[in-house]
Chains A and B, each alone.
Chain A
Amino acid sequence: MTPSSRTSPLSRLAQPLPDLLAFAALAALVVWGVLAGARNLGYHWQWYAVPATLLTWGADGPAAGPLLQGLLLTLALAGTALPLTFCLGLAACLAALSDSFAARAVSRLYLEAVRNTPLLIQIFLLWFVAAPLLGMGRFTAGVLALALFEGAYAAEILRGAVLSLPRGQWEAAHALGLSRAQTYARVVLPQALRRALPPLTGQAVSLVKDSALLSAISLFELTLRAQALVSDTFLTFEIWFTTAGLYLAVNLALSAAARTLERRVRLRG
Chain B
Amino acid sequence: MAFQADRCDPARAEAKVLGGVIVEARGLRKTFAGGIEALRGVSLAVRQGEVVVVVGPSGSGKSTLLRCLCGLETPDAGEVVTDGARLPGSRRDRDRIRTETGMVFQHFNLFPHLTALANVTLAPRLARGLPADRAEAEARALLGRVGLKDKTGAYPAELSGGQQQRVAIARALAMRPKVMLFDEATSALDPEMIGEVLEVMRGLAAEGMTMVVVTHEMGFAREAGDRVLFMDQGRIEEEAGAAEFFLSPRGERARRFLSRML
Q: Give chain A's interface residues, CB within 8 Å of chain B.
A: 166, 168-169, 171-172, 174-179, 182, 186-187, 190-191, 194, 267-269
Contacts and interface: CB of A to CB of B under 8 A. Distances in A.
B157 interface: yes
Given A175-B103, A176-B98, A269 B122 contact: no
A46 B110 CA distance: 63
A269 B157 contact: yes
B109 A168 contact: yes
B71 A267 contact: no
Contacts of A171: 72, 103, 105, 109
A176 B101 CA distance: 8
A177 B95 contact: yes
A65 B111 CA distance: 52
A33 B133 CA distance: 67
B158 A168 contact: no
Given A168-B105, A171-B72, A267-B112, A176 B156 contact: no
Contacts of B72: 171, 174-175
A182 B99 CA distance: 14
A190 B113 CA distance: 7
A139 B175 CA distance: 52
B257 interface: no
Contacts of A191: 111-113
B126 A269 contact: no
Contacts of B127: 176-179, 182
A190 B111 CA distance: 10
Interface of B: 70-72, 95, 98-99, 101-103, 105, 107, 109-113, 122-123, 126-128, 155-158, 168, 171-172, 175
Q: Interface majority SS on A: helix, strand, loop or mixed? A: helix
- Nearest first, the 6 A-B pairs at minimum CB distance are A269-B157, A177-B99, A168-B109, A176-B123, A177-B127, A172-B109
Contacts of B107: 168
Nearest to A183: B126
Contacts of B99: 176-177
Contact of A177 (B98, B111, B158): B98
A176 B98 CA distance: 6
Contact of B126 (A166, A178, A194): A178
Contact of A169 (B101, B111, B155, B171): B111
B120 to A, nearest CB: 10
A177 B168 CA distance: 15
Contact of B123 (A166, A169, A178): A178
Contact of A269 (B70, B158, B171): B158
Contacts of B103: 171-172, 175
25 contacts: A166-B109, A168-B105, A168-B107, A171-B103, A171-B109, A172-B105, A172-B109, A172-B168, A175-B71, A175-B98, A175-B101, A175-B102, A176-B99, A176-B122, A176-B171, A176-B175, A177-B95, A177-B98, A177-B99, A177-B175, A179-B127, A186-B122, A191-B111, A267-B112, A268-B158
Contacts of B105: 168, 171-172
B101 to A, nearest CB: 7
A173 to B, nearest CB: 8
Contacts of A176: 98-99, 122-123, 127, 171-172, 175
A174 B156 contact: no
A179 B125 CA distance: 12
A186 to B, nearest CB: 6
B10 to A, nearest CB: 37
A68 B146 CA distance: 63
B71 A174 contact: yes
